Structure 1
């Protein structure tokens, strides 16, 4: 079994933080560069699939669904499920720019995993919904007729938390990791005993508890 994790292409929110104040997070579009990133990622994903079909699970946000569309997978996407549990961390509704800046500082000081955003979620809340998604996904992948590869098109924090949950990484390690770049991927492979990550996430600091990413390779 394999899971290919892909972050969406560059979105309006990646280049204009004030966009979150006037456009709902779920409706933020890709930029022109984001569309091109997704088109360039298509051949890479097709090469990973090696001509075999994949079941696609995609966040229902506009930027993730459009990333999937620009991949141009065609018949290789055997089934596609818009999965709300793969959405980005909820920051509430339309954001106030002044409050947005204050909350970012508070979140950094408190810790990204446990800090709950007013009218939104904490990282721990996202972790909880991803636990339920992973349980369902592993059961589906073991069922007869399901492709052996799942492609998950989601968001930066969500992908990090999905790996944290799958590998049992500590909160300290999770908070030391960087998000994937836009349209960057990671491949998880089940070797019969457990999951392995093809290559590590970038780290902006060593984990304070000394924990390392793994298993890798």
Structure 2
């Protein structure tokens, strides 16, 4: 049996063009921009061609920008699940713009995986929860005959990279060398003959220090 997981990043949100938006709007409530809405609608056309009518189960981060992205895709799905484990990394309280910049600088200096944001999460914390999601999803596909063989996961850039890191056992060094995919860009994970494959790699801003690669 062939199983597919389609990972999709949300469209452009207000926080992507105005960092001070985090000082007045909670991260989970940030809306899509008009450009983000157009990106989601266009991606819906591409995904319909990819899915070719196959049944789909959708698992969606319960943030406003991810839920709205899914709605604008216009895809018929057999299951639609709000999945908190797919949410963005929790950045804690970002109401103070000075502290926001301090946290970003510390995260850059100490590494995106291990540095825990004040009152928030580290990348390692997100890694743990996406691992739990993947384990549960694989069990559902294997043991529930009514579950579609294709799952659409609408989430966030870092979450997508960590889902792949867990799936393919990538090193921490490799993960920290990867760039987020563009808004409304997707990756397809396919399981055949006992192994998972990634349709195309993520862009890298540097080579991994340990010499490992994605494929």
Q: Distance in 1 between matches of 2:116 and 2:48?
A: 38
- 1:23·1:94 contact (CA, 8 Å) conserved in 2? no
**1:126-145 alignment to 2 at 5 Å?**
126-142=126-142, 143-145=144-146
Higher mean displacement: 94-103 or 151-160: 94-103
Residue-by-residue CA offset, 1:45-103 (whole Å, 9 max, x unaligned) = 11111111100000000000000000011xx3111000000000000134310011111
2:16 is matched with which residue?
14
SS in 2 for 1:57: strand
Displacement of 1:9 in angstroms is: 0.2
Q: Distance in 1 between matches of 2:209 and 2:100?
A: 27
- 1:7·1:153 contact (CA, 8 Å) conserved in 2? yes
1:82 is matched with which residue?
82
Tell me which of 62, 67, 70 is aligned to 1:68. 70
Higher mean displacement: 22-31 or 137-146: 137-146
TM-score of the superposition, structure 1-length normalised? 0.96
> Is 2:173 the counterpart of 1:182?
no
Q: Distance in 1 between matches of 2:103 and 2:94?
A: 14
1:163 is matched with which residue?
164
- 1:141·1:148 contact (CA, 8 Å) conserved in 2? yes
SS in 2 for 1:77: coil
Q: Distance in 2 between matches of 1:166 and 1:95?
A: 35
Which consecutive aligned stretches of 4+ in structure 1 deviate over 4 angstroms post-superposition?
Answer: none
**1:1-217 alignment to 2 at 5 Å?**
1-73=3-75, 76-142=76-142, 143-214=144-215
Aligned length in residues? 212
SS in 1 for 2:107: helix
- 2:94·2:100 contact (CA, 8 Å) conserved in 1? no
SS in 1 for 2:153: strand
Unaligned runs of 5+ in 2: none
Q: Distance in 1 between matches of 2:18 and 2:93?
A: 17
Q: Distance in 1 between matches of 2:17 and 2:93?
A: 19
Q: Distance in 1 between matches of 2:166 and 2:185?
A: 20
Unaligned runs of 5+ in 1: none
